[in-house]
Structure 1
């Protein structure tokens, strides 16, 4: 397991990180998002969508629908929000398909997923450090996701260009 930490000074920098990860995705990636309400989880998913060639303006927090699918990009994006779940969830067939499909799955409130379901993932933890700034910790679980982590090493340059 490898980890990296970044600081995003603005929401735009958080989106830029997501965009870089989206451009690097090859399909089958699972991105777990952890953080308090308003930490920037959906903001990062908007950037991820943009990096996949999906209209980022369509991306909203799926809290009331649990799963939202965004086709039409280079790869499809499945946006899952586990906020309203009271028990860990992973064995439902629909969730397995969402998490392990050919596209990219972004799961908000990833800590609510059942043990073992997120063993292969890039876990992104966002923490408030100021009104707009966030500390972002990236943890790669498995070799597929270590590649994404390596891409994130160069993301500071990309974030500053915006």
Structure 2
């Protein structure tokens, strides 16, 4: 079992700052899979991550376009994916997003990552063999939960290929 980290955010600004701090951790080949209900801070984390990576473009959730690529600025390319509208792995593959999830060329941040995993996953739980990252890929799985009006519990765990 890997180490599960816990962060309590008391505001959207603290969630943003956590994402900005994560920018120091990431390198080419990282996938950050974010899971949580609507309004738990998935996009806010990615906004902080992108700013920490030096991306100046406005980052918003690509719910309708599915994918925003930021590869002309920042220290690494960032692919921001939102799987909310996709119901299955078949639809994700059909949309041409699979390669971002299994062998990214930069950093991939995925909202609604549970749509890719298929099964429910909880921090501290083993990752199914078929979802283990390939060599050179680091997968950070993140679960965001409401614990108060503005408070969020953010649990995350890293898996390396």
Instruction: Compute the TM-score of the two structures, normalised by the length of structure 2.
Output: 0.80
C-alpha distance after superposition, 1:128-153 (max 9, x if no partner): 1122210000021226xxxxxxxxxx
1:108 and 2:126 are equivalent in the alignment: no
Q: Counterpart in 1 of 2:142?
A: 124
Q: Counterpart in 2 of 1:66?
A: 66
1:137 and 2:159 are equivalent in the alignment: no
Superposed counterparts of 1:16-35, under 5 Å: 16-35=17-36
CA gap 1:93/1:36 in 2 versus in 1, 3 angstroms:
closer
1:45 and 2:54 are equivalent in the alignment: no
What's the offset of the Cα at 1:36?
Answer: 0.3
Q: Counterpart in 2 of 1:2?
A: 3
CA distance in 2, matches of 1:74, 1:139: 24
Instruction: Compute the TM-score of the two structures, normalised by the length of structure 1.
Output: 0.79
What's the offset of the Cα at 1:86?
Answer: 1.3
Q: Counterpart in 1 of 2:77?
A: 76
CA gap 1:96/1:87 in 2 versus in 1, 3 angstroms:
closer
Q: The residue matched to 1:25 in structure 2 has which SS?
A: coil
CA gap 1:117/1:65 in 2 versus in 1, 3 angstroms:
farther
C-alpha distance after superposition, 1:20-43 (max 9, x if no partner): 111221111000000000000000
CA distance in 2, matches of 1:109, 1:36: 9
Runs of 5+ unmatched residues, structure 2:
119-128, 134-138
How many residues in Structure 1 have an aligned counterpart in Structure 2? 142
> Contact conserved, 1:63 with 1:81, CA < 8 A, in 2?
yes
CA distance in 2, matches of 1:15, 1:117: 31
Superposed counterparts of 1:82-93, under 5 Å: 82-89=83-90, 91-92=93-94
What's the offset of the Cα at 1:73?
Answer: 0.7
